[in-house]
Amino acid sequence: MQTKEFFVAENLGKRLDCFLAEETDLTRSHIKKLCDDGFVKVNGSNSKGNKTLKSGDQVVLMLPDVKISDVKPENIPIDIVYQDNDLAVINKQQGLTVHAGNGTDSTTLVNALLFHLDSLSGINGVIRPGIVHRIDKNTSGLLVVAKNDNAHLALSKQLEDKTCNRVYVALLEGVLKQDKGTISTFIARNQKDRTKMAVSDFGREAITDYRIIKRYKNYTLCEFSLKTGRTHQIRVHAKHIGHPIVGDHEYGFKNQKFKLKGQLLHAYKLEFIHPTSGEKKSFTVDIPDYFKDILKKIQ
């Protein structure tokens, strides 16, 4: 059982389910079920999702673990860039969900990790063993996986302290004028579509640095460096500045020129301090072939 605790800082008259949807990656339907099943308490009492919160309220969310038998190893091919006794670095392919949730209970990276690796940390429970951070299903590239709890805690602390460097490359619609800059906003659940995120006047702080790699006639190849790790952060920020990512069916243009399965967003660089040796580890991976093909077409 994983427990998360939240405090309501401002009296916004917000519903409990809306508050938790903004503070977590859970959908309102999932939150409603947790409330109905007694896994959400406000000030120590079971509460329904439509409860109105006030300043100073304490919200406790309990996430029950699924049975270990429900998460099975699957022989899904994955690119293991590096591994040792403490961790593994994976170059995730586009189209592979990281872990179960929101209707996905198999054919995930976790299923593949359970097959290919000898151990995984247990801090995130049986649904997300080893998962320190995530990248979206249709985003490709690097992420680090912890094989034991000590490594997991150390890597999570680096993410929290912003000492873990994560750099992405993306092809954006249109031509950016500024060579580099910083996008700093708040991000929360989209009020009209709870499966999406949006720039908001409230929510969680999100900071992304960017620099131009190359300008094309109607596109921009851009590097993004995450200073925070919010859900869909780069995709939301790209849309926010008026240059969504090519191939992004959720946040991009409605009419896509290229027939792509997902966004041209790739986590190509990952740097962190090894939790045992103290050595700085740096990994880079090239963009996928389908990404290269589009770059050739727009030359």
Return the active site residues.
136
| Cross-strand pairs, 173 | 219
Residues 6+ apart with CB under 8 A from 195: 27, 102, 250
Residues 6+ apart with CB under 8 A from 277: none
CB-count exposure of residue 282 (10 Å: 0-12, 13-18, 19+) = exposed
| DSSP class per residue in 208-262 | EEEEEEEE-SSEEEEEEEESS--TTHHHHHHHHTT-PBTT-TTTS-SS-SS--SS
Distances (CA, A) of 61 to 37, 114, 122, 205: 12, 27, 19, 21
Residues 6+ apart with CB under 8 A from 226: 166, 167, 168, 208, 233, 234
184 is written with which tokens?
A: 């700093």
Which of 79, 138, 143 lies closest to 112 in space, CA to CA? 79
Which of 57, 60, 61 lies closest to 8 in space, CA to CA? 57
